């Protein structure tokens, strides 16, 4: 199993550009989530999904969109990048929401200039 994979590893955007961060898992996990990690702030939940076709907002959803058309994939879209979205983004998954340990991807380091 590859586990949780994320692409790209690094990305530089200009303010106003849009892009999609990819996340995929091959463990047949129902629950997937996106976090951002900022210095001094810890990890914060952006969006999560409890299964294909179902998504919900986390603590910091503004400026981000998600969809879940398959069990395996959970892309995160930045609609119009802002410097405040400069961060490291992590995708995570687990069997179902709540009861099981969560597995994290290697992260995407995004810089918005």
Nearest Cα to Cα of residue 78 among 92, 89, 94: 89
Q: Which stretch binds other proteins (CB under 8 A): 12-20, 21-29, 78-86, 95-103?
A: 95-103
Stretch of 21-29, 62-70, 75-83, 93-101 contacting other proteins, by CB under 8 A:
93-101
User: Does position 1 bind other proteins by CB under 8 A?
Assistant: no
By CB under 8 A, residue 24 contacts other proteins: no
Q: Binding other proteins by CB under 8 A: which of 23, 24, 25, 33?
A: 33
Q: Could you please report the per-residue DSSP string of 39-100?
A: TTTEEEEEEEEEETTEEEE-S--TTEEE--SSSSB--EEESS--GGG-EEEEEEEESSTTTS
Cα separation, 87 vs 8, in Å, equals 13
User: Applying CB under 8 A, does 105 fall inside the site for other proteins?
Assistant: yes
Query: Which residues contact other proteins (rule: CB under 8 A)?
Result: 4, 31, 33, 35, 40-45, 48, 50, 56, 58, 90, 92, 97-107
């Amino acid at each position: 199993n590859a586990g949780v994979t994320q692409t790209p590893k690094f990305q530089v955007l200009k303010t106003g550009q849009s892009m999609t961060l990819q996340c995929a898992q091959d463990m047949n996990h129902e629950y997937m989530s996106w976090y951002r990690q900022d210095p001094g702030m810890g990890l914060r939940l952006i969006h999560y999904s409890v299964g294909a076709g179902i998504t919900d907002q986390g603590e910091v959803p503004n400026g981000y969109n998600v969809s879940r058309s398959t069990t395996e994939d959970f892309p995160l879209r930045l609609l119009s990048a802002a410097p405040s979205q400069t961060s490291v983004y992590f995708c995570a998954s687990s069997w179902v929401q709540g009861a099981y340990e969560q597995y994290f991807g290697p992260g995407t380091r995004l810089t918005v200039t």
